[in-house]
Structure 1
Amino acid sequence: MTPQPHTIGDDQTLALARERMHDHGVRHLPVLHGGYLVGVLSSRDIALVEALPGVDITEVTVDEAMSEEPWTVEANANLSWVAETMAARRIGTAIIVEGEGSDQILGVFTTTDALLALAKLAEGLATE
Structure 2
Amino acid sequence: MTATVADSMTANPRTIGAHQSVREAAELMKAHDIGDLVVVDGDAVVGIVTDRDIVVRCLAEGGSGDDEIGRACSPDVVTVESDSHVAEAVTLMRDNAVRRVPVTEGGRLVGIVSIGDLAVDHDPTSALADISAEPANT
Asked if TM exceeds 0.5, the reply is yes
1:119 Cα deviation from its structure 2 partner = 4.2
Q: Where do 1:1-128 residues align within 5 Å?
A: 1-48=9-56, 49-53=58-62, 55-57=63-65, 59-99=66-106, 102=107, 104-120=108-124, 122=125
> Match for 1:91: what amino acid?
V
CA RMSD of aligned residues (A): 1.8
Give the stretch that moved more between structures: 23-32 or 12-21: 23-32
Aligned-residue identity in percent: 26
CA offsets per residue over residues 69-88 of structure 1, 9 Å max, x none? Answer: 31111101111231233123
Give the distance between the partners of 1:77 and 1:114, measured in 2 at CA: 13
Say whether the 8 Å CA contact 1:71–1:93 is kept in structure 2: no
Q: Can you give the 5+ residue segments of structure 2 that lack an aligned partner in the other structure?
A: 1-8, 127-138
- Provide the C-alpha distance between the structure 1 equivalents of 2:44 and 2:88, rounded to a whole number of angstroms: 26
**Unaligned runs of at least 5 residues, structure 1:** 124-128
Q: How many pairs align? A: 117
Q: TM-score, normalised by structure 1?
A: 0.80
- Partner Cα separation in structure 2 for residue 40 and residue 28 of structure 1: 7
Residues 5 and 29, structure 1, Cα contact 8 Å, conserved in 2: yes
Q: Report the TM-score when normalising by structure 2.
A: 0.75
| Structure 2 contact 43–109 (Cα < 8 Å) conserved | no
C-alpha distance in structure 2 between counterparts of 1:13 and 1:66, whole Å: 11
User: Which amino acid counterpart does residue 48 of structure 2 have in structure 1?
Assistant: V
Task: Note the alpha carbon deviations across 1:23-61, whole angstroms, 9 max, x for none.
Answer: 1122221111133221111111101122234x321x111
SS in 1 for 2:61: coil
- Work out the CA distance in 1 between the residues paired with 2:21 and 2:90: 31
Q: 1:20 to 1:86 in 2, by over 3 A?
A: same
